[in-house]
Amino acid sequence: MSQSFRVPSAILRFSFRYDGSLLQHSNKRKHQLAGHLPGRFSILGGAYQYRVCNNMATTRAAGALSKDSLWEWAQKDERRMLHVVYRVGDLDKTIKFYTECLGMKLLRKRDLPEERYTNAFLGYGPEETHFVVELTYNYGVDKYDLGTGFGHFGIAVEDVYKTVELTKAKGGKVTREPGPLEGGSSVNAFVEDPDGYKFELIQRDPTTEPLCQVMLRVGDLDRSINFYEKAFGMKLLRKRDNPEHKYTIAIIGYGSEDKTTVLELTYNYGVSEYEKGKGYAQIAISTDDVYKTAEAIRISGGKITREPGPLPGINTKITACLDPDGWKTVFVDNQDFLRELE
């Protein structure tokens, strides 16, 4: 069943951010509409009418599948990590660091003054095929608490030593000098961007996906692995315990580490909770069916924070969720995402 309500004709423009808040505004006025309601806009009798479509038939069809069927489908679904969203205090300064020190390219930038924020997308290739970062600058906010849960981003480079020297020359902060990892031969280093987000520089041969890793800390590693395998359809690529330093990591993703972006989940012995902070926001992942995705997440113990359906105004279908540790992910319909980029 659908329901309607009237919206003043003075409202001129609608925009939706993947963080789940629909903002509409005319001139200096802003009004918050229930952005969690999927639907479409039409004009009836000279006024705007918002028709809320619950997509009940689609939702019921997804819910009728068994757990095993949904988990099997999630493994076969066409998925890719699209981008990671986080907030920065000085957009131009951050863009300069990423392009000059880390070798990224500014792909696009959009300013929404009526909503008082600006986005910039950066990466090593087009959004259609590469994992990218989406930086968000909120007007008037120059600093964020990064919390204790977010770890770092990983970037594969051909020469860690050369990248570190370039970072130093540009005034960047190096928190770990280049060298082999403990107990191994891989060369890495750590640098910080102007907001304090850490980047691990990993020495590797040339790769199609240099922005190769997002590290998050979790309170129960086995629980997280089980959730990401079943709900997200990811695969456990490797797991390594380091009792000397009292932590264990698990690498999970949709493909091999040297060709795709992966998640590194880190469990520190005896730590079950972390502060999320206000900086890191979420990861976006593509899917062929947001309705089945939401149901697979629900039955796997995840929390749906936005029910699956199209975004008002642009009709891009998404769903949003929290994992058992509270890390947010947004799933975006594959075809709708590509259409948006066009």
Residues 6+ apart with CB under 8 A from 281: 19, 85, 86, 87, 136, 328
The per-residue pLDDT for 15 is 38
Neighbours of 247 (CB within 10 A): 16
Could you tell me the pLDDT band of residue 58, with boundaries at 50, 70 and 90?
low
Catalytic residue of the set 200, 257, 264, 295: 200
- What are the beta bridge partners of residue 156? 202
What angle is formed at CA 145 by the lines to CA 224 and CA 17, rounded to 5 degrees?
70
Q: How far apart are CA 299 and CA 77, in angstroms?
A: 17
The structural domains of the chain, with segments of one domain joined by +, span 3-57, 76-341
Neighbours of 131 (CB within 10 A): 24
How many residues make up the chain in this entry? 342
- What are the beta bridge partners of residue 209? none
- Tell me what the mean pLDDT of segment 266-275 comes to: 98
Rg over alpha carbons for the chain, rounded to the nearest Å, is 21
Neighbours of 285 (CB within 10 A): 20
Residues 6+ apart with CB under 8 A from 93: 194
Collapsing DSSP states into helix, strand and coil, what is residue 198?
Answer: strand
Q: Taken in order 88, 219, 229, 297, is the CA torsion positive or negative? A: negative
Q: How far apart are CA 212 and CA 200, in angstroms?
A: 10
Q: How far apart are CA 240 and CA 252, in angstroms?
A: 12
**pLDDT of 164 strictly over 80:** yes
For the chain, what is the mean pLDDT? 85
Q: Is 114 in the active site?
A: no
The per-residue pLDDT for 302 is 96
Neighbours of 336 (CB within 10 A): 17
Q: How far apart are CA 124 and CA 256, in angstroms?
A: 18
The rounded Cα 116 to chain-centroid distance in angstroms is: 21
Q: Which amino acid is at 219?
A: G
CA dihedral 321, 19, 147, 233 (to 10 degrees): 30
Q: Which amino acid is at 148?
A: T
Query: What element of type H or E holds 75?
Result: helix 67-76
Choose the weakest-confidence range: 15-19, 144-148, 238-242, 315-319.
15-19
Q: How far apart are CA 114 and CA 299, in angstroms?
A: 39
The rounded Cα 262 to chain-centroid distance in angstroms is: 12
Tell me the pLDDT tens digit for each residue of 236-270: 999 999 999 999 999 999 999 999 999 999 999 99
Q: How far apart are CA 204 and CA 202, in angstroms?
A: 6
Q: How far apart are CA 122 and CA 82, in angstroms?
A: 12
Tell me the pLDDT tens digit for each residue of 203-213: 999 999 999 99
DSSP string, 6-54: EE-TT--EEEE-TTS-EEEEETTEEEEE-TTS-EEEEEETTEEEEEE--
Residue 16, both tokens: 């939706």
pTM: 0.83
Residue 74, both tokens: 């999630």
**pLDDT of 43 strictly over 50:** no
Contact 257, 214 (CB under 8 A): no
CATH number for the domain whose boundaries are 76-341: 3.10.180.10
